[in-house]
Structure 1
C-alpha cells in the first residue's frame, strides 16, 4: 500500500480502512490511523462545504414559498413592547383562541425578549457549577462598585480629627 499525499483526514483514505478491517490486516489499519492528523478539527466530519450566506437566504425564501410557510419568526424584537400581553389577553377574551392562533401564525412573536448577546438567563447560571456561578456573580458585583480614591482615603486616616474620638480601653 502506497500513498501519494500527506494524510490529514480519513476522507483521503477512501475505503482503505474498511478493506483493512475486512481482510484482517491490523498492521496496515494501525499505520493508517497513526498517520492521520491528531487535531480533531482536521477530521472530515468538520470539513463542511462552504457556501455563500446570501445564497442560503435565497434558498430559504424559495423553500418557504414552495411549502407555503408563513413569515419567519424573528429571534429578538427591535424594540420591547410591554403591552403585548395585555393585547393578547384582549384578543383571547374578545374574539377567541382561534383568532389569537391565527394572528400568531400571521405575525409571530419573537423567540426571545432581549436583543442582548451578553445576557445570560438565570436558569442557565443556576444550572452551572459553583465556580462558574461565583465568577459570574463577582463580575456583576465588580461592575456595580465605584473605584476607591486611595490617596484621599489615606489623607483622611492621617488627619487628627478622626483620631480625637478614639479612646483606648484596657482590658
Structure 2
C-alpha cells in the first residue's frame, strides 16, 4: 500500500479496521498493533462527535412578545402611575376585590410610589439638605475645575490693566 493511499483513508478510530486490531492483540502481533495505532488520528476533534449548536437569542422582550404577555410590573412610580392607581381604586369600589385584581393583572401598578424630583433620595433626607447641596444635585453638567495656572492669569491680567491705566 502506498503512503498517499493511507493518508486519504482518514483512519479515525478502531471501528474502521473491523477485527484487525482485535486479532493483532489476541495473536500477540505487536508490530501490527503498533502500526494500526499509529495510523489513528491524534486530533481529539476527529474522535469526538461535535454538533454545531445554534445559539438562540432570548431576552425578556422577545419572550413577552412570543407569549403575548403584558409589560412587567414597574418597580417605581411615574406620572402615569397615578392614573392607573386611580382606575384600579375605582374598579375596586365598583366591582369589589375581584375587579381590582383583574385590573391589576391587566395593568399592574408600581411596587412603590417614591417622591419625584428628589434625586432618588427619601423625601425627609432631600428636604433636610441645604440649598447648595440641592443645587449641586440638580446640576447635570460636571463643574469645571479651577485652571492650574489661575494665579498666573490673574497676575498677568492685573499687570495688563495697570499698563492700560498708565498709558
TM-score, normalised to structure 1, is 0.31
Q: Which is greater in Rg? A: 2
